[in-house]
Structure 1
Amino acid sequence: MIFTSCTTSVSLEARQDKTGAVAMQTKISPSVQALLSSLAGADSTEALFDEAQIRASLKAAGFAVTGLKFPSKSALTVTAETKNITTMLRGSKDFISVTGDNGISDMRIKLSPENIRKAVAIMPEDTALYVELLIAPVFTGEAMTAQEYTDLIAIAYGEKIAQDLLKAKVNLMFSVPGTIVSAEMTNSNENDVIVKNNAITMSIPLIRLLTDLKGTECRIRWKE
């Protein structure tokens, strides 16, 4: 649901042995919630998330779910463990890579259209169907500017949904087992990347993730 929400935070705790802990918090705006309920033919008071489907999807993808909560009918918090952060997105060869040289570890995260599509593929079927309704360039492959895509969403689903989309951000948070040497993200603006102690927060406008066919790469280097 990261692609249909206004507020999403995803965190990754990378460990020395390449195991890791992943967490996600997301909350869908009232306007998007009403739209999804309408498209699904469901009552607007019904929960948008199916606990059994989410657990099954994550387990099938190789994650060990350690926590799953629903603070409200439109909010979700999930925590999970992975045996290897570099292979946790099945079918992807370059989603996360970690290399080392002279005591410096170098982790790269590639948010390419291909990797985003692979991430959608592990979602529950109904969630994947919601994502398809976004008709976003990252899924269709059609080149489109952020403004053109926003206009398309406004025509298809209304101006309020389009405005929610423009405001939406995805916050990526990383913690690493060492002292951070550098942290950077392609196409970033001032204050998009914040480093504090051994933790990093990178903020990406959702509209960029959905329309940038070149993708976004995050890179973090730390001293062991």
Structure 2
Amino acid sequence: MKNRGKYLYSTVFLIALLGFSGCTSTLKVAAGTDGSADMEFTSSMGTALSDTIKAITGKMEGNSSRGIFSEDSIRSTLADSDFSAVKVSTGKDSSLSAGGTLPPAEKQTHATGSLRAADFIYTSSSKMTLTVTPENLFTMAQGLPEDTKSYLELFMAPVFSGEKMTKDEYRMLIASIYGENIAKELESSAIDVTLIPPKGKSIKKSSPANAESSASKAVFSIPLLDFLTLGTQKSYSIEW
């Protein structure tokens, strides 16, 4: 139980990373009036990447038929954390759906090192912000338990290794190791982040300004290659 709490956000982060590496990925975060946040993540992984990960991890663990996502493990990890009302489902096509409710920042008790969920998603009385930085992502990667670090290392992503690399350089690296099909999947992959204000509130402002925004939601599309080669802090926010 203690280890599960220690590695909570690293585990959630790992799940998200594998999920981001798909043709269709979405993260919806709905702000509560009390500073809480309802989160829902869905993803369908690309065929080439899914087959490669299954093959590699199957050889490593002696079971090439195992799925990429363990529904029971994900549900157990989230349930033993700050998340409540946890829902998880996985599909044979390497799809994943997971969600739950995060309490306000002052009520969050689990962390990886000094990082809490509030360092990534923070909700105040009039604003919600999702923030990612190279430093926090690197810290999360280093906080992974050894038995799961191998999954992350498959990506060789500079944002987790601390190296500096352009998107083109990283794409070339992936193509040289795993082939052009996987490089193309990564290049075309993105996650759509949807931020939703509390019930009864309307969005007055969203940032960056290029979001697809209405009174009820703002949608930000983040290319996967941009995320994996992140060099500066990126923030996405709505105000109501």
Residue 12 of structure 1 pairs with residue 3 of structure 2: no
User: What SS does structure 2 have at the residue aligned with 1:142?
Assistant: coil
Q: Is 1:30 equivalent to 2:47 in the alignment?
A: yes
Of the candidates 213, 218, 223, which is equivalent to residue 205 of structure 1?
223
Distance 2:36 2:46 in 1: 33
Alignment partners' CA distance in 2, 1:142 and 1:20: 33
Shift of 1:22: 0.7
Within a 5 Å distance, the mapping from 1:74-153 to structure 2 comes to 74-84=94-104, 87=108, 90=111, 91-92=115-116, 94-99=119-124, 105-117=126-138, 128-153=149-174
Q: Secondary structure at the match of 1:107?
A: strand
Output one character per residue of 1:184-213: Cα deviation in whole Å (capped at 9) or x when no partner: 13xx7x5xx111231111111010011022
- Post-superposition Cα deviations, 1:3-53, rounded to whole Å, max 9, x if no partner, equal 432321111111110122111101111101111111112666542211121
Take 1:24 and 1:210, find their aligned partners in 2: how far apart are those partners?
A: 18
Q: Tell me the residue number matched to 1:219.
A: 237
TM-score by length of 1: 0.83
Mapping for residues 54-69 of structure 1, pairs under 5 Å: 54-69=74-89
What is the RMSD computed on CA atoms of the aligned residues?
2.7
Quick check: which one's strand share is greater? Answer: 1
Unpaired segments ≥5 residues, structure 2: 1-17
Q: Tell me, in whole angstroms, the C-alpha distance in 2 between the residues paired with 1:134 and 1:179.
A: 39
Match of 1:181 in 2: 204
State the one-letter code of the partner of 1:181.
K
CA shift in 2, pair 1:194/1:160, >3 Å = same
Q: Give me the identity figure in percent.
A: 27
CA offsets 1:56-96 (integer angstroms, 9 cap, x no match)? 22234321243212233410111211222675883246323
Identify, as 1 or 2, the structure richer in helix: 2
Q: Give SS of 2:163's match.
A: coil
Q: CA deviation at 1:113?
A: 2.3
Asked if 2 retains the 8 angstrom alpha-carbon contact of 1:27 and 1:75, the reply is yes
CA–CA separation in structure 1 for the residues paired with 2:162 and 2:31: 32
TM-score, normalised with respect to structure 2: 0.78
